[in-house]
Amino acid sequence: MTTPNDLTVQRVIKAPPKTIWQAWKDPSHFVKWWAPAPVKTVSNKHDMFSGGGFDTTMHLPDGTVMEGGEGCFLEVVENERIVFTDALQGGWRPNETAFFTAIITLEAHPDGTLYTATALHKNDADRKKHEEMGFLDGWGTALDQLSSLVEAL
């Protein structure tokens, strides 16, 4: 089930799930790819288990330091699935604000791994009302249509 506030990114990665898992789980690997160069990622906490905290700091070349705030791993299934959110911090303690939940899945693929990242973003509107309005109808193309619409103008 998707809503207009969701997005999905999918890649076939030429590496086995266990290697990708390592790149996620080991902070020394994780900081190498999480942010784009020349931003330097510092991992303050990376407890990759259910209820574990997740905290990075970004260091920009001009000296700016961006605190990511602490998130929480909700579900961690080795070599298969990672779910995390910024709505909670380590130990499931609620944060002041919530913006997203991310669901990462790894599936074996003939060329390596089918990697899927889905980000669910906050939507304050009442979901039930949306469903009644046909909210789940034809959403796959709605944003595509929107973008072609905007481009056509």
Partner 1 sequence: MDNLQANLDTVFHALADPTRRAVLQQLGRRELAVSELAKPFDMALPSFMKHIKVLETSGLISSQKVGRVRTCKIERRNMAAAEGWLEKQRALWEGRTDRLAEYAEQLALRESNDDNT
Shortest gap between Cβ of 1 and partner 1 (angstroms)?
13
45 vs 130 by CB, closer to partner 1: 130
β-strand partners of 93: 89
**From CA 125, how far away is CA 92, in angstroms rounded?**
24
43 vs 92 by CB, closer to partner 1: 43
36 vs 63 by CB, closer to partner 1: 36
- Cβ neighbours of residue 94 closer than 8 Å, sequence gap 6 or more: 87, 88
Shortest gap between Cβ of 91 and partner 1 (angstroms)?
25
99: which DSSP letter? -
Q: Which residues bind partner 1 (CB under 8 A)?
A: 3-5, 7, 9, 11, 13-16, 19-20, 22-24, 29, 32-34, 36, 100, 112-113, 115, 117, 119, 121, 123-125, 130, 133-135, 137-138, 142-143, 145-147, 149-150, 152-153
Q: How far is CA 61 from the centre of its chain?
A: 25
If phi > 0 it is left, if psi is from -120 to 50 it is alpha, else beta; for residue 42 that is: beta
Shortest gap between Cβ of 43 and partner 1 (angstroms)?
15
Shortest gap between Cβ of 90 and partner 1 (angstroms)?
21
Omega within 30 of 0 (cis) for the link into 17 = no
